[in-house]
Every structure is written in C-alpha cells, then in structure tokens.
Amino acid sequence: MGRAQSRPAGNLTKRQQVVFDFIKGYIETHGVSPSYEEIRRNFGFGSYNSVQKHLKQLVAKGFLKTPWDNQKRALTLVEPGPSTTILPLLGRVAAGRPIEAIANPDTVEVPEMLLRGEDNFALRVVGDSMVDEGIRDGDIVIVKRQRDAENGQTVVALIGDDATIKQYYRRGTRVELRPANPRLSAIVVEEGDLQVQGIVVGLIRKFHR
C-alpha cells in the first residue's frame, strides 16, 4: 500500500512547524493573520526576507495561502483534505489475462477511507455487467486482495485467463457469478475452475464531459 498524501506535521522542518503553529494560533485567537512585523519580532528574525522565506516554504508545502494582491493580514490556513494512498492500477477488470501477470502497472490516488486492510489494488471496469450495483464502464474499483468470498459479495475472479467482476454465490461444488444487469446471464463454474482475486470495497467514478 502506498504512502498517505495528507498534510502531517512531519512534512515540515521543526522551524517551519513552529512558525506555522504561531500563525495558526494567532488566526484562531484574533481572526486575522499576524503581520510580517509581528512574525519577525516573535521569532527574532533580522529582516522581512526571513519572514518571506518561511512563508513561501509553508505555501509551497500546502499549509498556507497568500493573497494575490499582497493584502495585509490576509494569510489563510489550508484545510487538510482526506488522507490518500497510491494504489497500483493493475489494468482492466475484463482484460482477458491474469491480473497478477500485468507488468508495470499504473497507479491511482485513492482516499484511505475506501481501503480495507493493507493489501488493496485498483482495476478499471470495462462493460456494464454490474450497472445495477452502481458500477459503470470506466469506473475504478478498489479491491481487497483475498482468495475467498461470502455469498453476495462483489468479487474480482479469474476463470481461466479471463478476469470478471460479479456477485459471488456458492452452490455446493459450483460457484455462480451473478451480474447486476438483467440483460446478462449468470456464469456457473466448478469451484476449482475459479480463482477469487479479491472483493470490491470501494469505487471511484470517472466523469467525462
């Protein structure tokens, strides 16, 4: 699993963190940002250049915004967004070959809240077999890698060399892979002829104009 891309304090040096904490505390107390002079005096900087240097670093790292017109006391805090993780985008869910065999996968940034456990990957959906479950052509599904599934779970499975995304139902020694599209028929295979690659735990919709 990839590294989180949120704005933890560890992204700053100790000095930058102290400057940021001062500005943040000042804004929370006074409702406006401190002036350059107040920042300079608080930290004993010898010139405004030192103040500007620290502010530029905080802006570059995504912690502050500065006004485009150099308005005084107009520094604003950047609210942190949700933590994200970089996942391998292993190809298309109906790519016609084993998922693990896809070399040099692309990557995709996904919210950590979509993940389940440590071993997750992403696939791009091809086709409309799961449209009634809200999974559309072109969407990216987040998959928790595991080799078994419970009835009713949406799985990514291999049948021979073909990858498919369907709802999983065990029927004795057979498995029924059920689409969520009334125009399509279920696939029924012997349990030994199917390999569950993982269960779908999240979805990212790609909008197109």
Question: Average pLDDT in the 108-123 region?
Answer: 82
CATH class of 84-204: mainly beta
Strands of the chain, DSSP E: 64-65, 76-77, 84-92, 106-111, 120-124, 140-145, 154-159, 162-171, 174-178, 187-190, 194-204
Residue 172 backbone zone (phi > 0: left; psi -120 to 50: alpha; other: beta): left
Q: What is the pLDDT of residues 37-76, one digit of tens each?
A: 999 999 999 988 999 999 988 888 888 887 655 667 778 8
Mean local confidence (pLDDT), 182-186: 92
Supply the pLDDT for residue 69: 52
DSSP β-bridge partners for residue 86:
109
| Across 60-64, 148-152, 181-185, least confident range | 60-64
pLDDT at 154 over 60: yes
* pLDDT score for 68: 55
pTM strictly above 0.75: no
Instruction: Say which CATH topology domain 9-77 has.
Output: Arc Repressor Mutant, subunit A (1.10.10)
* Residue ranges of domains in the chain: 9-77, 84-204
Mean pLDDT of 85-95: 75
The answer to whether 73 and 106 are in contact (CB under 8 A) is no
The span from the CA of 89 to the CA of 22, in Å, is: 41
Residue ranges of alpha helices (H) inside 31-88 are: 36-43, 48-60
Binned at pLDDT 50, 70 and 90, residue 207 comes out as low
What's the rounded Cα separation, in Å, for the pair 154 and 180? Answer: 10
> Three-state DSSP class for 79?
coil
| Residues taking part in catalysis | 129, 166
164, pLDDT greater than 70: yes
Please give the Cα distance from 181 to 30 (Å, whole number).
58
Asked whether the predicted pLDDT for residue 120 surpasses 60, the reply is yes
Average pLDDT, rounded, for the chain: 82
* Spatial separation of the C-alpha atoms in residues 66 and 47, rounded to whole Å: 19
Residue whose tokens read 């017109």: 69
- So what's the pLDDT on residue 192? 92
**Which residue is listed with tokens 């904490």?**
21
Q: Give the pLDDT band of residue 136 (cuts 50, 70, 90).
A: confident
Residue 5 has pLDDT above 50, yes or no: no
Residue 60 is predicted with a pLDDT of 84
- Amino acid identity of residue 71, one-letter, is Q
What is the pLDDT at residue 76?
Answer: 85
Q: Do domains 9-77 and 84-204 have the same CATH topology?
A: no
Whether residue 115 is predicted with pLDDT greater than 50 in this model: the reply is yes
